[in-house]
Amino acid sequence: MIVEKDETMPVRNAEDVVRVRREVRTHAIGAGFNLVDQTKIVTAASEIARNTVDYGGGGMLRLETVRLGARRGVRLTFTDRGPGIADLKLALSDGYSSGSGLGLGLSGAKRLSNEFDVKSTPGEGTIVTLARWK
């Protein structure tokens, strides 16, 4: 896999979530995504960025435009040092929320992505990696 573009940015507050959405859309356009695929990756990014702020206490995003053979994609890695997720299986189920949300953040982002992975250790934090391919 070749990384064509790579940047990191903080995800600490609502303004950062807006910036994440804008930068992810820019990368998706650069990767040649159509409007539907742009919307899917931006929506997934927004959900995970919001979780990073609300549940992880803020963190970082690594945003990459990648190429694998003739395929181009956008890969996002969100990292926080928050409380972690005690039960990943439960957290990934539709309708589960540890807060006041609808419980569609993680599971919705997973459905909007071609690749999705969560690693979480209670007391240490969470890493969510997702990708969408053209």
- pLDDT means per 10 residues, the chain with 134 residues, are 95 98 98 98 96 96 96 98 89 66 73 96 96 96
Q: Could you give the angle at the alpha carbon of 49 between the alpha carbons of 34 and 22, nearest 5°?
A: 45
- What pLDDT sits at residue 99? 56
Q: What CATH number does the domain containing 70 carry?
A: 3.30.565.10
pTM summary value: 0.92
Residue 27 to residues 12, 23, 58, 97, Cα–Cα distance (Å): 21, 6, 22, 30
- What pLDDT sits at residue 83? 95
- What pLDDT sits at residue 91? 80
Structure tokens of 51? 């979780």
- What pLDDT sits at residue 87? 84
Amino acid in position 103: G
Count of the separate structural domains present in the chain: 1
For residues 95 and 103, is the Cβ–Cβ distance under 8 A? Answer: yes
Domain extent, residue 42, equals 2-133
